[in-house]
Amino acid sequence: MIGLISATAAGAAARDRLAAAWPDRTRVYEGPVADAVRAAFASCEQLVCFLATGAVVRLVAPLLAGKAADPGVVCVDEGGRFAVSLLGGHGGGANDLAREVAGVLGAEPVVTTATDAVGLAGLDTLGLPVEGDVAAVSRALLDGEAVALRAEVAWPLPPLPVADEGAYTVRLTDRLVEPGEGEAVLRPPTLVVGVGASKGAPVEEVLALVEGALREAGLSAASLAELATVDAKAEEPGIVEAARRLGVPLVTYGAEELARIDVPHPSDAPLAAVGTPSVAEAAALVRGGELLVPKRKSERADGGPARATCAVVRRPGRGRLAVVGLGPGARDLLTPRAEAELRRASVLVGLDQYVDQIRDLLRPGTRILESGLGAEEERARTAVEEARRGRAVALIGSGDAGVYAMASPALAEASDDIDVVGVPGVTAALAAGAVLGAPLGHDHVSISLSDLHTPWEVIERRVRAAAEADLVVTFYNPRSRGRDWQLPKALAILAGHRAPTTPVGVVRNASRPDESSRLTTLAALDPATVDMMTVVTVGNTATREVAGRMVTPRGYRWQETPERQEIQKAQEAQKAQKARETRETQEEAR
């Protein structure tokens, strides 16, 4: 919960705007400011104080308990101009909160944390437990000193400016090790413990078994990702409570699924009890991985029979491929989600000219793999291969990555051994449509006229179908120096079904500084004025020009006008004439 505190009418107005935007996340604290701050500090994860930073410093200073325990605190000035991350920038989430508050209030976020200021990913912001000489290693990264990365397990980390050797070290491990001098240890959640238990097994016995298995194998409990068991034990109190105390989820699987897992130590007892010859080992191995600790039984102080079993598996981190649409080119049309994925990726793969558009957004340490035009399949394969090595990869494309861009070839290469995330972007058709007016107000279709990957016969069939269906058509890749006849052919097909006065919008470099646009007609459009940087949108029989804008109505009632009836009569007469000519040709042939 986020506590909101204000002292003046202006502060209260901004406070109420934030409360209205986040009704389920916020709680307003009324009354004397000092009392409100104390109450919110004690019960909320974060605070937003609409007060001067000096006042907040004096109010929270006596309440501070430590970096790990204090809530994040953000200050917003009386004018609502700045949202300042004051306390708990990383651990308390105040840096991210300041950015969120700024977005709601139209303010400027102020973040002074050193790593954030220079674009580095802070070691305590990676979502992994971290211990050791974190401050010294972070300072070395900031100062540009050589910091080595020792990755003992695969995990998709964000970019870090690391080297092969260095006086400082970032160690990525799930083993139970003590950090050395100048070493920060990151604990990725790679360990899965499968658990079986008889009815009524006490939590102390289950917990002692799990913790003992990890400790004796030299594995860190901080890298425990989950406990796993059979569905029949989903509500077994000892297992449920053990997962709660360990701070990990309890994942369950059906007995039939577990019975299909090949395990080294099957048993008749669980087969008779729950329908699978293995619970602990099978539940740990069901999603793959390396069996580090085979099935072991609990020990009781009274010497009685064991009531719990466990097994430990290392499940390496899956690589992550984000397929990111950059939009049509304007920076303000790049979505926040796309920007976040670019900053998260340690490897960026893309066309060189697209990389240049967003190079300034990348974090230090990002490895860039760029190539020129015509290497789409190669870029897709490269991105997937990098993800399969356990890395966080961003594959970029213009517009929306799923529309004539990189998502299709990438997903054709990717199997289920990596995680794939799609990040939508503003397409060229949408950007051009916004420039023209509202040409896509009713049913519409996008067709690429490039026959590099698609035979022209297929493209022509699609254009003809769109013409007969009376769809608004947006042509991508309409014309190049080597392809100068496809656009005239496509326009001729549409002209067979639409009036010569049908509006046509032509937009070049939509959303970019050299953007240009014009509104013409199907009869007047000169294909020679179009190139590969142009999007051509041809209206349907309902599209019209209104006040210099291209508009396709959402309904067809307006078509009942005399003008529209005349157009329909002319089109019907044209179709009838074509039908007569066809019949005459067939009769002559006979």
Strands (E) in 419-578, as ranges, are 419-423, 437-438, 444-448, 472-476, 503-508, 516-521, 534-538, 544-546, 549-551
Query: Which percentage of the chain shows pLDDT scores above 90?
Result: 66
- pLDDT reported for residue 555: 73
Q: Beta-carbon neighbour count of residue 117 at 10 Å? A: 10
pLDDT for res 232: 94
**How many Cβ atoms from other residues are within 10 Å of residue 556's Cβ?**
13
In angstroms, the first-to-last Cα distance of the chain is: 84
252-267 per-position pLDDT tens digit: 999 999 999 999 999 9
Q: Return the CATH fold of 320-426.
A: Cobalt-precorrin-4 Transmethylase; domain 1 (3.40.1010)
Write the CB contacts of 274 (distance below 8 Å, at least 6 apart in sequence): 230, 232, 233, 255
Rg (CA), the chain: 32
Q: Which residue has the higher pLDDT, 224 or 165?
A: 224
Domain parsing of the chain, residue ranges: 2-112, 123-186, 191-314, 320-426, 440-551
200 torsion bin: left (phi>0), alpha (psi -120 to 50), beta (else)? left
Does residue 571 surpass a pLDDT of 70?
A: no
Vertex 49 angle, CA 32 and 66, to 5°: 100
Reading the block at residue 278, the tokens are 């293995």
What CATH number belongs to 191-314? 3.30.420.180
The model carries a pTM of: 0.74
Q: Across all residues in the chain, what is the average pLDDT?
A: 90
Q: Is 100 exposed, middle or buried (0-12, 13-18, 19+ CB in 10 A)?
A: buried
Residue with tokens 């909160």: 97
Under the banding of pLDDT at 50, 70 and 90, the label for residue 529 is: very high
Q: Are 281 and 194 within 8 A, CB to CB? A: yes
Exposure string for 357-396, b = 16+ CB within 10 A, e = fewer: bbeebbbebbeebbeeeeebeebbbbbbebbbebbbbbbb
167 pLDDT more than 70: yes
Torsion sign over Cα 247, 248, 249, 254: negative
- CA separation for the pair 154, 169 (Å, rounded): 16
Report H helices in 442-561.
456-468, 486-495
Spacing of C-alpha 328 from chain mean position: 19
**Given the structure tokens 């029989």, which residue do they identify?**
541
pLDDT at residue 61 greater than cutoff 60: yes
Q: What integer is the mean pLDDT of 155-170?
A: 88
Task: Give CA–CA dist 337/425, Å, rounded.
Answer: 9
What pLDDT was estimated at residue 557? 57
CA–CA distance, 201 with 398 (Å, rounded to integer): 57
pLDDT band at 118 (very low <50, low <70, confident <90, very high): low
Query: How would residue 188 be classed by pLDDT, with cut points 50, 70 and 90?
Result: very high
Cβ atoms of 386 and 349 closer than 8 Å: yes
Instruction: Show the tokens assigned to 47.
Output: 């605070």
Contact of 385 with 415, CB cutoff 8 Å: no
C-beta separation of 486 from 451 below 8 A: yes
pLDDT at 7: 87
The predicted structure's pLDDT at residue 568:
64
**The pair of three-digit structure tokens given for residue 344, joined into one six-digit string:** 């998260």
Instruction: Report the alpha-carbon distance of residue 83 to residue 99 in Å, rounded.
Output: 7
What's 122-149 look like in SS3? CHHHCCCCEEECHHHHHHHHHHCCCEEE
Which residues lie closer than 8 Å to 172 by C-beta, 6 or more apart? 149, 150, 151, 152, 153, 155, 157, 185, 186, 188
484-521 pLDDT per residue, tens: 999 999 999 999 999 999 999 999 999 999 999 999 99
pLDDT at 183: 93
Cβ neighbours of residue 291 closer than 8 Å, sequence gap 6 or more: 264, 281, 284, 285, 311, 312, 313
In angstroms, the Cα distances linking 21 to 25, 26, 101, 187 are 9, 9, 10, 36
Tokens encoding 474: 């947006």
- Long-range contacts formed by 579-584: CB under 8 A, 24+ apart: none
pLDDT at residue 578, as a whole number = 75
Assess contact for 15 and 6: CB atoms under 8 A. Answer: yes
Is residue 240 over pLDDT 60?
Answer: yes
Question: Could you tell me which residue, 554 or 581, shows the higher pLDDT?
Answer: 554
Name the H helices within 359-455. 376-388, 407-413, 428-436
28-39 pLDDT per residue, tens = 999 899 999 999
CATH number of 2-112: 3.40.50.11220
Q: Which fold has domain 440-551?
A: 3.30.950
Scored b (16 or more CB within 10 A) or e, 13-41 reads ebbeebbeeeeeebeebeeebeebbbbbb
d(CA 437, CA 165): 57
Do 388 and 319 contact (CB within 8 A), yes or no?
A: yes
**Separation of alpha carbons 515 and 17, rounded Å:** 37
Higher pLDDT, 505 or 302: 505
**Residue 565, pLDDT score:** 61
CA distance 254 to 234: 10
